[in-house]
Amino acid sequence: MSPKAFRQLRRLPAIIHFTTKYKPWIYEYEPHYKDLYKQALALTPWKDYVPPDRTMRAIFLKQLRMKRLKERFAWYAPRTAFLREVFRRRGRTDGEPS
């Protein structure tokens, strides 16, 4: 399989099986493909599902953790900020706007 074909399959998989404890229906976790899960969920009768662990406290703590993580990354690795853009571009398939 060519690298281009692999990237395209990875970007738009036909089947996703979440085998670790990081399930997309658990609010606390942000596994890969969580956005695809949300899109698929929106097309089902369970589109209004709210994870039971999504509480005001959990929302606050999740935002706080992400803020701290971003601050730590910026503090300890300020010169690597450009990598975000490089990896973001590498994940795109041909023909997508940059």
Q: Is residue 12 part of a domain?
A: yes
Q: Is residue 96 part of a domain?
A: no
Token pair recorded at residue 87: 């990896």
Q: What are phi and psi of 16, to 5 degrees?
A: -125, 125
Q: Is residue 63 part of a domain?
A: yes
Alpha-carbon distance of 76 to 71, in angstroms, equals 9
Q: Can you say whether the dihedral through the CA atoms of 17, 43, 98, 63 is positive or negative?
A: negative
What range does the domain containing 77 cover? Answer: 3-90
Q: Which residue has the tokens 């089902």?
A: 44
* Coil/strand/helix, residue 69: helix
Q: Is residue 85 part of a domain?
A: yes
Q: Is residue 55 part of a domain?
A: yes
* Total count of domains within the chain: 1
pTM above 0.85, yes or no: no
Q: Is residue 95 part of a domain?
A: no
Confidence of residue 56 (pLDDT cuts 50, 70, 90): very high
Q: Is residue 97 part of a domain?
A: no
Q: Is residue 98 part of a domain?
A: no
Alpha-carbon distance of 93 to 10, in angstroms, equals 10
Q: 33: closest CA among 91, 87, 98, 82?
A: 91
pLDDT tens-digit readout, 22-48: 899 998 888 878 888 999 999 999 999
